[in-house]
C-alpha cells in the first residue's frame, strides 16, 4: 500500500474538500503542530488552529485568558459594508448572551435559561418525541429506502424545538431557513450575495419572534419562550428584546442543526459498520453509549472560536493578545492519546462520553440533555424497525463549513 507522504504545508484548512474529510490533516497537525498558525481569510488577527484534546480542554477551562467574545473580531465584513448595515439596522443589535459572553455576564444568562431546560421539562417531552419519531418512520418504512436527512434528521429536531418554543408547525420551513442562515454566517465561507440573503433572514427571524415575545408577555403559555420572558434569577432584571432574540436564535440553531447532523452522521456510521449495528440491535441497552460514540465520531459542532485576551504561552507556542483561536472539537474527539484506536467506531467504547461535542466547562451546551434524549429515542425506534441498513450506492455528501459538520444528503436502504 502506498504511504501518504503529504506534509502539513500541502493542506489548506479552508479548502471545502478538506473540511468534508479533515482527519488525515488532523492526524499530522496533532503530531507536528497541535497549535498551528493559519493564513486567515476571515480576520486580520493572527489565527491559530488547536487540534489536541488536552490543549482544547486547557483553553476551554481558562475563560480569563481565552475569551468567547469573538463577535466583534469576526464582524469585519458587516462593519465595512453599507448595504449589510442597512439590512441589520431594520432589526435588533446582535448582543453577547450565551455563546459569546464571558463570566460573570455569561452566568447571569445561563441561570435565566437553565430553568427552561430543566430535567423535568425534558422528561415531560419523551412521549411527544417518540410520537414524532414513529410518525416519521411510518412515512418512509414501506419504501424500504429513504433520503434520511430530509425525511428524518431535519424534521425530528425542528418539530421538537418548535413544540418547545410554542410556535406553529406550519412555520417549520421558515425556522429551518433562518437556522441555516445563522450557521452559514458563523462559518464565514459566504459570497457577498449570500451574506446579504443571510442578513435578510436574520432580520425576518427577529421580527417574527419579537411578535411571539410580545404575545407571551400579554398571554403566557406553557412553552420555552414564556419561561424566558418570565425568567428572573436572584432579583436580576428580566431579559430585554435583543437578549431574548439572541437566546431564542441560539436555542433554535443548537436545538435543530446539531441534532440533525448527529442523527444523520450516526445513520451513516450504522450503514458503514454493520457489525457494530448488530451489537446495538441485539442489545438496545447499549443505545446510550452508541449515541456518545456517534457524537465523538461526528462532532456536529466541529469547532469554535476563542480570542486571546492577554499574551500567553500554550504548549511552548507564544500567543499574543488579540489572536484568534479555532478550537477543533472534531480533532480532539479523535485524539488517540484520549481515545485509543480513535478512528474506529466502537459502540462499546468505555470513555465515549468524554467527547467534547457539547463543549466543556462554562460553555457546556445547555441543551445537551435534550439532544441526548432525542437521539436515544430516535435510534431505539430506528434500530427496532429498520433492519439490514445500508448505503444506497454510497450516496451521501457533507456540507463544507468551518464550524459545523453535517450531511447534505444520505440515501439509505433497509428491510422492515
Distance CA 235, CA 408 (A): 45
Q: Which domain holds residue 241?
A: 8-415
Report the length, in residues, of the chain. 416
Between residues 378 and 88, the one the model is more confident about: 378
Backbone phi and psi for residue 40, each to the nearest 5 degrees, phi listed first: -105, 120
The answer to the question of residue 60 being in a domain is yes
Distance CA 164, CA 156 (A): 13
pLDDT in tens, 118-176: 888 888 899 999 999 999 999 999 999 999 999 999 999 999 988 888 899 899 999 98
Q: Which CA distances in Å does 154 have to 89, 123, 263, 264, 342?
A: 31, 22, 9, 9, 28
The answer to the question of residue 258 being in a domain is yes
The answer to the question of residue 396 being in a domain is yes
pLDDT at 72 over 80: no
The answer to the question of residue 1 being in a domain is no
Between residues 123 and 58, the one the model is more confident about: 58
Domain of residue 106, CATH code: 1.10.630.10
The answer to the question of residue 237 being in a domain is yes
pLDDT at 386 over 60: yes
DSSP output for 55-73 = HHHHHHH-TTTEES--TTT
The answer to the question of residue 3 being in a domain is no
The closest alpha carbon to 198, from 208, 188, 207, belongs to 188
The answer to the question of residue 365 being in a domain is yes
pLDDT in tens, 255-301: 788 999 999 999 999 999 999 999 999 999 999 999 999 999 999 99
Distance CA 318, CA 112 (A): 37
Peptide bond into 372 cis (omega under 30): no
Between residues 5 and 312, the one the model is more confident about: 312
pLDDT number for residue 192: 82
pLDDT number for residue 99: 83
The closest alpha carbon to 337, from 55, 41, 122, 37, belongs to 55
Cut 0.95: pTM above it: no
Cell 425556522 sits at which residue?
175
pLDDT number for residue 2: 47
The residue ranges of DSSP E strands in 126-270, in sequence order, are 145-147
Q: In the predicted model, what is the mean pLDDT of residues 49-56?
A: 98
Q: What does the buried/exposed string (b/e) look like for 330-357 if buried means 16 or more CB atoms within 10 Å of the residue's CB?
A: bbbbbbeebbeebeebbbebeebbebbb
pLDDT number for residue 204: 96
pLDDT in tens, 199-257: 999 999 999 999 999 999 999 998 889 988 988 766 667 889 999 999 998 888 877 88
Number of folded domains that form the chain? 1
The answer to the question of residue 409 being in a domain is yes
What the block records as the C-alpha cell of 303 is: 469547532
| Paired residues of 327 in beta bridges | 50, 304
Amino acid at each position: 500500500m502506498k504511504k501518504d507522504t503529504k506534509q502539513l504545508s500541502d493542506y489548506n484548512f479552508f479548502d471545502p474538500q478538506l473540511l468534508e474529510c479533515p482527519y488525515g490533516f488532523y492526524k499530522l497537525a496533532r503530531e507536528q503542530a497541535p497549535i498551528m498558525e493559519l493564513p486567515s481569510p476571515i480576520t486580520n488577527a493572527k489565527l491559530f488552529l488547536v487540534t489536541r484534546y488536552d490543549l482544547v480542554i486547557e483553553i476551554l477551562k481558562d475563560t480569563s485568558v481565552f475569551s468567547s467574545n469573538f463577535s466583534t473580531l469576526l464582524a469585519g465584513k458587516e462593519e465595512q459594508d453599507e448595504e449589510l448595515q442597512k439590512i441589520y439596522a431594520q432589526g435588533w443589535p446582535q448582543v453577547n448572551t450565551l455563546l459569546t459572553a464571558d463570566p460573570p455576564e455569561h452566568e447571569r444568562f445561563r441561570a435565566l435559561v437553565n430553568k427552561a431546560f430543566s430535567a423535568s421539562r425534558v422528561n415531560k417531552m419523551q412521549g411527544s418525541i417518540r410520537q414524532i419519531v414513529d410518525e416519521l418512520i411510518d412515512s418512509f418504512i414501506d419504501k424500504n429506502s429513504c433520503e434520511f436527512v430530509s425525511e428524518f434528521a431535519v424534521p425530528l429536531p425542528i418539530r421538537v424545538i418548535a413544540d418547545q418554543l410554542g410556535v406553529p408547525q406550519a412555520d417549520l420551513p421558515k425556522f429551518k431557513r433562518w437556522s441555516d442562515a445563522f450557521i452559514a454566517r458563523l462559518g464565514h465561507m459566504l459570497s457577498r450575495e449570500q451574506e446579504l440573503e443571510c442578513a435578510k433572514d436574520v432580520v425576518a427571524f427577529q421580527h417574527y419572534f419579537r411578535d411571539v415575545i410580545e404575545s407571551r408577555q400579554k398571554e403566557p403559555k406553557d412553552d420555552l419562550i414564556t419561561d424566558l420572558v418570565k425568567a428572573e434569577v436572584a432579583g436580576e432584571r428580566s431579559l430585554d428584546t435583543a437578549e431574548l432574540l439572541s437566546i431564542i436564535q441560539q436555542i433554535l440553531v443548537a436545538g435543530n442543526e446539531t441534532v440533525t447532523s448527529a442523527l444523520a452522521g450516526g445513520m451513516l456510521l450504522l450503514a458503514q459498520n454493520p457489525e457494530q449495528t448488530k451489537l446495538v440491535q441485539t442489545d438496545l441497552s447499549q443505545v446510550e453509549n452508541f449515541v456518545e460514540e456517534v457524537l465523538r465520531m461526528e462532532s456536529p459542532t466541529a469547532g469554535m472560536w476563542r480570542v486571546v485576551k492577554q499574551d500567553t504561552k500554550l504548549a511552548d507556542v507564544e500567543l499574543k493578545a488579540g489572536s484568534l483561536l479555532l478550537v477543533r472539537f472534531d480533532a480532539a474527539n479523535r485524539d488517540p492519546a484520549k481515545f485509543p484506536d480513535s478512528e474506529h467506531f466502537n459502540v462499546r467504547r468505555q470513555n465515549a462520553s468524554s467527547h467534547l461535542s457539547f463543549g466543556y466547562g462554562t460553555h457546556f451546551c445547555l441543551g445537551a440533555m435534550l439532544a441526548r434524549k432525542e437521539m436515544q429515542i430516535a435510534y431505539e425506534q430506528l434500530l427496532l424497525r429498520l433492519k439490514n441498513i445500508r448505503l444506497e450506492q454510497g450516496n451521501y455528501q457533507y456540507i463544507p463549513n468551518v464550524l459545523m459538520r453535517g450531511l447534505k444528503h444520505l440515501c439509505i436502504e433497509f428491510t422492515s
